[in-house]
Chain A
Amino acid sequence: MPGSRSLADDDCLAPSSGVTSPDTERLMDSDGAAAHAAQAREEQEWVARCRQGEIEAFSFLVVRYERMMRSVIRRMLARDEDVDDMAQASFVTAFERLAQYSGQSRFSTWLCQIAVNKCRDLYRSRRDAGGWRDGGDAPDPVDDALGPEQRYEARQKDAVLQAALGRLKPQDRELIVMKYIAGHDYETVARILGCSPQAAKVRSVRARTTLRAILSGMGVEP
């Protein structure tokens, strides 16, 4: 998918970085690698400051990962009104457990792990695979910055995608979201979902096939 952007790229790098690879950890060029390394150092510094009691340093991490977290959580949940609460709860949990963050994975990976666990807790509490339902009077999901035509297309696509994701099993949905929408590589997906990279690959084939069939049934052929 040359030229496409992913949430993993978008939110793990400054917006102006211009990195367009779909799988940053695999296809990163030297500039991208340097940018990621600098970013990782910066995040380690923020984490260290938080651990030393400087709470406000956590806001840098919130600002950097707010959009990524809200976007992936939104695709994993049915109700838009749950998104901010789940994202907030995920950040608070991350802050609470900051001492447990080893730094071996990227901070975004660790945040995604927390978000997935929060969403799973919500599925379990509602016992209905995320309480999926039609959007109803949910707020318009499309960015105001887009032009009218782009807005229309984006809104259509958003509605189709949410409806299709809602028909997937939660474990397939998590995989589609982390692999194809957030744009993580298999190793990272495996780490986030708590399975082996091989299992993530096998499950992704199954999830993709199921999603394609669902979309086809809705008359959508990407």
Chain B
Amino acid sequence: MMKQQRSDEARDDRLEAWLAGAPPAPPSPGFETRVMQAVRDHARHRERGGPAWLRRLLGFLLAPRTLQFNVGGLALAGVAAMAAGLAITAWRAEAPVPPLAMGDETLTVRFVLVQPEAREVRLAADFTGWQPDVPLRRDGQGHWVAEVRLRPGSYEYSFVVDGGRWVEDPRGTLFREDGFGRRNSVLTVTDHPSAGDKGNG
């Protein structure tokens, strides 16, 4: 019995020694440089958003929303409001786009990033206060897609991959230096179909 126990202990010791001698990962040239670049990017984008409480507040205020109007409901509400002498408006928030006023014209812009290995992709842009608030959904073929309704205008954006890597749009055609040695992608939304949208959408 004792002999068997000693034999087992010796085998455990040999296994532990064998595991302890496992070769470490080989060097990865440029790893530290890449990490520090990602860290700087992260810090830069965090600074752009200001203090955490301000970013949360701005995130809430600037969170893109869609307003959908039910015409029938609105008409009925108008009748009811007239009858009661009250103005009633109904609105409902749904998908992420900026708040609209009546008469604003918006277009649906599709953002696409091909990144099969990514676990998560989000969109950060000037219209989100540079918070990566818009998640892209994976379509099963390695494409990440999000649709956002935007008014005509020019917007800067970037994709945030796996929570820390800021990636410019490889399909984009316009870029703008961000003043920190990197570029943001630029999207121009126009309501003239012939002009076409410049950028990802």
Contact = CB atoms under 8 A, between A and B. Distances in A.
B164 A92 contact: yes
Contacts of B24: 7, 10, 67, 70-71, 143
A84 B29 CA distance: 11
Contact of A59 (B13, B15, B32, B46): B32
B137 interface: no
A109 interface: no
A128 interface: no
B42 A96 contact: yes
A26 to B, nearest CB: 14
B17 to A, nearest CB: 5
Q: DSSP class of B's interface residues: helix, strand, loop or mixed?
A: helix
Interface string A151-167: 00010011001000000
A211 interface: yes
Contacts of B27: 67, 143
B128 to A, nearest CB: 18
Interface in A31-79: 55-56, 58-59, 62-63, 66-67, 70-71, 73-75
A181 B40 contact: no
A206 to B, nearest CB: 13
Nearest to B39: A95
A142 interface: yes
Contacts of A89: 162-165
A62 B32 contact: yes
B119 interface: yes
Nearest to B21: A4
Interface in A77-92: 81-85, 87-89, 91-92
A139 interface: yes
Contact of A208 (B12, B38, B46): B12
A140 interface: yes
**Most chain A CB within a 10 A radius of its CB, from B21, B23, B25, B34:** B25
B143 interface: no
Interface string A1-29: 10011110010000000000010000000
B104 interface: no
A149 interface: no
Given A1-B13, A161-B19, A222-B17, 19 more contacts: A55-B36, A55-B39, A62-B35, A83-B25, A84-B28, A88-B164, A92-B35, A92-B42, A92-B164, A95-B43, A140-B26, A143-B26, A161-B22, A181-B20, A183-B20, A208-B12, A212-B15, A222-B15, A222-B19
Interface of A: 1, 4-7, 10, 22, 55-56, 58-59, 62-63, 66-67, 70-71, 73-75, 81-85, 87-89, 91-93, 95-96, 121-122, 125, 139-144, 154, 157-158, 161, 176, 180-181, 183, 208, 211-212, 215, 222
